[in-house]
Chain A
Amino acid sequence: MSDAAFPARAATPARTAAPRGRLLDGPAGVAPTRRMNPKRIMVYGGLIVFSLYYLLPLWVMVMTSLKGMPEIRMGNIFAPPMEITFEPWVKAWSQACTGLNCDGLSRGFFNSVAITVPATILSIAVAAVNGYALVNWRFKGSEVFFTILIFGAFIPYQVMIYPIVIILREMGLMGSVWGLVLVHVVFGMPIITLLFRNYFSSLPPELFKAARVDGAGFWGIFLRVLVPMSLPIFTVAVILQVTGIWNDFLFGVIYTRPDSYPMTVQLNNIVNSVQGVREYNVNMAATLLTGLVPLTIYFLSGKLFVRGIAAGAVKG
C-alpha cells in the first residue's frame, strides 16, 4: 500500500519542483513504516493463538483417523501416526455398521446428495422469485405477507415437528427422501426470501422500469435482467442451503427411515453404536467424511460468499 502512495506523492509538482529545492536535513518523501511494532505483534499473536485453538481438534481427528487401534490405545492423541493406515477411512465409507445395514456411510452420502441437491435448487428458485415479487411487483398486502413469512423464521422447530409428521403422512411422503426435501424447502423459505428481497431492493429501481419500457414481462425481467446480475447472492444462498441441509440432523432423524437416512444420521449411528469396541479411528474418519462437503464449499467460494453477504445486507 505504501508503494502505491509513493509515486503519487513524488509526482506532486508543488513539492518536487519547488524553486528553492529541498532542505538537506529533516524528513522527506514517504514516511517509513516499521514491519513489526507492538500493535502488530499483539494482533498477529492473538490470531495465531485463536487459529491453533480451532485447528487443534481437526489435527487430532486427522491424526487419529490415520492410526490403527493398537497405536490409539497407547495414548498420545496429538502425536502423528507412526504407521499411516487408510483402513479406517475405507471402513467408515463402506463397511461400518449403522443400525441394521453394514455398508458404511456411502449409503448416507448418496441419500444426502439426493436430499440436498433438489432441496437447494427448489428452495432457492422459489425464494428468489418471492424476493423479486416482493420488491418489484408489490401487491396489496405484500408487506403483511412478508412479515408473516419472516415471522416463520422465529418459530421454534420443535413446535412444528408433529404437525409436519401428520402433513407428510397424509401426503404419503413420510419416510421418503422427497418428504425431507419438502421440509427443507419450506423451512429455508423465510431466510432465503429475506436474502433475495434485500438484494433485489438494493438494485436501482430504474433497471426494472427500463426493462418494463422495453416490454419485458414478469419472467423476462427476472430471468434476463435480474438473475444474470445476481451471482453473488445466489452463491450465498447455495452455500447457506447446502451446508444447512447437509448438516441437518433433526429433520433427517425424524422424517426418514433407515434406508433413506442422510449422512449425518448415519454418522450418529456409527459413532454412538454401543456394541463391540469403540473404533475411534473409524469414528474420526466418518466425521471427516461427513464434514467434507460443507468444507469444500467454503473453500471454493470464500471470496464470493463474503461479497454476497455484504451485498445482501446493504438495505433492509
Chain B
Amino acid sequence: MAQALRAAAPTELDGISVSIRDLSLSYGSVEVLGDLNLDVQDGEFLVLLGASGCGKSTLLNCIAGLQPATEGQIFISGQNVTWAEPSERGIGMVFQSYALYPQMTVEGNLSFGLKNARVPKDEIRRRVARAAETLQLEPLLKRKPAALSGGQRQRVAIGRALVRDVDVFLFDEPLSNLDAKLRAELRVELKRLHQNLGNTMIYVTHDQIEAMTLADRIAIMRGGKIQQLASPDVIYRKPANLYVAGFIGSPPMNLLPGRLEGNRFTGPLVADVTGYDFTTRPRGPEVVLGIRPEHVRTGAAAEALPIRAEALVEVVEPMGADTLVWAQLGQTPFRVRMDGESRVRTGDRLSIGFDPASLSLFDAASETRL
C-alpha cells in the first residue's frame, strides 16, 4: 500500500526534503491551518516559531502524519506521503514531554521502533550502540526512564529518533520542560548533532532564543499562516510586518506611530529617514517607525548619528551585561538597551540617536514593511 501511495517523485522536488502544498486543516468551521505552502531544503534546520495556538505544533503533527490534513499535499524526500502512516514517512519525532515508554529500559525505548520494523537483531544492536555513543547514553542503557534526569530523558527521546535512520527529524518543543541551564546545554548539543548528521530538522518552539540560535531559517506563524520565512538575521533586521517586529527581540522593538512625508517622519520624534532601504513605496502617509532598543545609541555616540532626540528616564533595570532603560519620548514609552557600565538614573534626560539603516518602517494600515 505504501508503494501505491508514494507517487513518483516530481523532479521539481530535487534538493527539497519536505514540501508542503496548499495544506489546510479545519475542525468543523474553525480553520487551524490555511493554505499553507512551505519547502524545507535538504539538511536544513527550520524552526517554526509562534505564540501558543498559532498552529505550529499542528503543522508538525500534520508533517508527522499524526493529524490528517483536510486539504493539500505533503512530500517528504520526494514521496507524496499525504496519506501515509507516520512510520512510513521516514521521520523521527521528539516530544516536549519526552514520551518515553515507562516500562521499557532505555535500550528497549531505543529499539522499539526497529523491532516494529522487523530490523534484524544484530542491526538493531549496532544502531542502538551507535546512537548511545552519539548521545552519551551508554551507561544508562539498562535503566528505566523513571531513573533518568530530564536532560537524560530528552537525550533518549532524541536517540529514539536517531536509531531509525530517518531523513527528517521533527522536534515539538523538546527543551521546554527543562530548566534554563540544561536548556542552554542541550541547545548547543542539538546544534552539534545537526552539524554532524546533516539531516533535515523541523523544530517547533515558542522560545525565540532557541529559534535564533538553532535555525537556518525561521518560519514565524500566527493564526495558522506563515508571517515570515527567512534566516534569523533577516527576521531580526528586516521583519516583514508589525507582528514579527513585535514578536522577535526581547525587549521588543520600539514602535512609534507617525506620518511620513517624503523622507521626513513626524511622530514622537522627527526624523529624516534618508538612507532607509525601502522595499516598496509608502501607500499612505500613516506609518509606524520601529527601532530596536539595542540599536539606539546614547550620549556622545548619539551626537554623530542622523536621527537624534531626547528621552526622559523612568525606570532603570541593570542586568549585569547590559542595562535596560525604560524612558518616555514625549508621551510614548521608549526602551533603550545600554552598556552595563553606563550610569543612568531615574529622571535623567538621555540624549538618544540612531541610524536610518537600522530602523524599520511599516505601513500603518496593512502593517507590512515598507
The chain A residues found within 8 Å of chain B, CB to CB, are 204, 206-207, 209-216, 220, 224-225, 228-229
Contacts and interface: CB of A to CB of B under 8 A. Distances in A.
A224 B102 CA distance: 11
Contacts of B172: 206
Given A209-B86, A211-B112, A214-B116, 4 more contacts: A209-B66, A213-B92, A214-B113, A215-B86
B102 A209 contact: no
Which of B65, B96, B99, B104 lies at the interface centre, i.e. has the most chain A CB atoms within 10 A of its CB?
A: B99
Interface in B64-102: 64-66, 85-87, 91-93, 95-102
B103 A229 contact: yes
Contacts of B116: 214-216, 220
Nearest to A210: B99
Given A228-B103, A229-B102, A229-B103, A210 B95 contact: yes
Contacts of B117: 215
A48 to B, nearest CB: 40
A214 B99 contact: no
Interface of B: 61, 64-66, 85-87, 91-93, 95-104, 112-113, 116-117, 157, 160, 164, 172
Contacts of B164: 214
Given A212-B86, A215-B117, A228-B103, A206 B95 contact: yes
Given A213-B86, A214-B87, A214-B116, A206 B96 contact: yes
A21 B200 CA distance: 63
A214 B160 contact: yes
Contacts of A225: 101, 103
A213 B91 contact: yes
B101 A207 contact: yes
14 contacts: A204-B97, A204-B99, A209-B64, A209-B99, A210-B93, A210-B101, A210-B157, A210-B160, A211-B112, A213-B66, A214-B112, A214-B164, A215-B86, A215-B87
Nearest to B98: A206
Interface of A is mostly: helix
Contacts of A214: 87, 112-113, 116, 160, 164
Contacts of A209: 61, 64, 66, 86, 93, 95, 99
Contacts of B100: 210
Given A220-B116, A229-B102, A212 B160 contact: no
Contacts of B64: 209, 213
B334 to A, nearest CB: 41
Given A209-B93, A210-B93, A216 B112 contact: yes
Contact of B113 (A206, A215, A228): A215
B161 to A, nearest CB: 8
The 3 closest A-B pairs by CB, nearest first: A215-B87, A214-B113, A206-B99
B160 to A, nearest CB: 7
A199 to B, nearest CB: 14
B87 A206 contact: no
Nearest to B157: A210
Contacts of B96: 206
A215 B131 CA distance: 19
A159 to B, nearest CB: 37
Nearest to A231: B103
B260 to A, nearest CB: 49
Contacts of B86: 209, 212-213, 215
B147 to A, nearest CB: 15
A228 B109 CA distance: 13
A211 B115 CA distance: 12
Nearest to A207: B99
A41 B323 CA distance: 61
Contacts of A228: 101, 103-104
A219 to B, nearest CB: 11
A82 to B, nearest CB: 56
Contacts of A216: 87, 112, 116
A213 B87 contact: yes
A228 B102 CA distance: 9
A94 to B, nearest CB: 45
A206 B97 contact: yes
Contacts of A206: 95-99, 172
Contacts of A212: 65-66, 85-87
Contacts of B104: 228
A78 B152 CA distance: 63
Contacts of A229: 101-103
A216 B100 CA distance: 14
Which of A215, A228, A229 lies at the interface centre, i.e. has the most chain B CB atoms within 10 A of its CB?
A: A215
A211 B172 CA distance: 15
B175 to A, nearest CB: 15
Contacts of B66: 209, 212-213
B158 to A, nearest CB: 12
A213 B171 CA distance: 13
B38 to A, nearest CB: 20
Contacts of A204: 97, 99
Contacts of B93: 209-210, 213
Nearest to A214: B113
A209 B116 CA distance: 15
